[in-house]
Amino acid sequence: MRPWCKWPILDCGESLEQIPGTIKCLKPHPYYSLGAPYGEGFDPFRLRKEVVRLLLSAQEYLHKKNPEFRLAIFDAWRPINVQAFMVEYVINQECIARGLDRQAKSDSVEVMKMIKEVNRFWAPPSFDPSMPPPHSTGGAVDLTLSSLEGLPLKMGGEIDAIGEISHPNYYSSNNSLVFDPEHVTWNKRRCLLSEVMIANGFVQHPNEWWHFSYGDQLWAWKKNISKAIYGACNPIERSSVTL
């Protein structure tokens, strides 16, 4: 269990809002394109109202720091059934990449090690209201930096990559990497993204350079706030837009 899962939740009832067009959303949506079960008419590029406001503030902050960059949203609100679909998809893809047979007894030890590693990056698709996956709350967002034209910048690792390369400080904590000019650039970009988001109220996932939260259990844990203000979000009850 992640340390923040024990934090209590008192949901404030805030609505889900469409991410405005002034913030780049990377389309087609990566999970929707894989067949993830969002349901007809539901747009994953939505977040809680206050999170959208803070993202707009973060984009303004970024523009002042570097007017050649903008934020680009990879993923936002993620229902729990989509989380379950994606966890299974990632595990199966990792099995293929590592040459493992998930059903073979001879591979069982390696498969369990791999699943444990996947679980460091993908929250269990829990329907327990006391420990919702962060993205199901509408308070978590996966994003990167892009050019003004909306082309994602290289950050030294793909979003959702499984492994140490995804850690926010990977290029600054590894002495064998810190002097390579390309690695320096990637580290500066990761640091800039982190600075921009944290300065505007977000917290960063400890294992993922791209994941930031506001209002969920991870946020409350890192801020040492007594209660999270966002629980799992019902898209019908919480939506303020008609799609």
* 8-32: average pLDDT: 94
* Torsion-angle region of 168 (φ positive above 0: left; ψ -120 to 50: alpha; else: beta): alpha
Residues recognised as catalytic: 208
pLDDT for position 178: 67
Largest CA distance in the chain: 56
At a CB cut-off of 8 Å and minimum separation 6, what does 169 contact? 187, 190
The DSSP line for 69-117 is EEEEEEE----HHHHHHHHHHHHHHHHHHHT--TT-GGGHHHHHHHHHH
Q: What is the pLDDT of residues 91-141, one digit of tens each?
A: 999 999 999 998 888 888 999 999 999 999 999 898 999 999 999 999 999
Average pLDDT of the residues in 79-83: 92
Nearest to 197 by CA among 150, 158, 142, 159: 142
Question: Does the pLDDT at position 50 exceed 80?
Answer: yes
First to last CA, the chain: 36
Question: What's the confidence (pLDDT) of residue 240?
Answer: 41
Beta bridge partners of 9: 228
Instruction: Please write the tens of the pLDDT for every residue from 200-240.
Output: 999 999 999 999 999 999 999 999 999 999 999 875 544 44
Q: Please, what is the average pLDDT of the chain?
A: 91
Region of poorest pLDDT, from 6-15, 23-32, 33-42, 152-161: 33-42
Question: Would you say residue 179 has pLDDT above 80?
Answer: no
| Residue recorded with tokens 């109220």 | 201
Tell me 48's DSSP state: E
Spell out the domains of the chain, with CATH numbers in brackets. 3-78+131-238 (3.30.1380.10)
CA-based nearest residue to 82, from 30, 118, 125, 119 = 125
Name the burial class of residue 237, with classes exposed (0-12), middle (13-18) and buried (19+) by CB atoms within 10 angstroms of its CB.
exposed
**Which three-class secondary structure state does DSSP give residue 210?**
coil
Residues 6+ apart with CB under 8 A from 97: none
Spatial CB neighbours of 165, under 8 Å, sequence gap ≥ 6 = 156, 157
Radius of gyration, alpha carbons of the chain: 18
Distance CA 20, CA 229 (A): 23
Q: Is the pLDDT of residue 243 over 70?
A: no
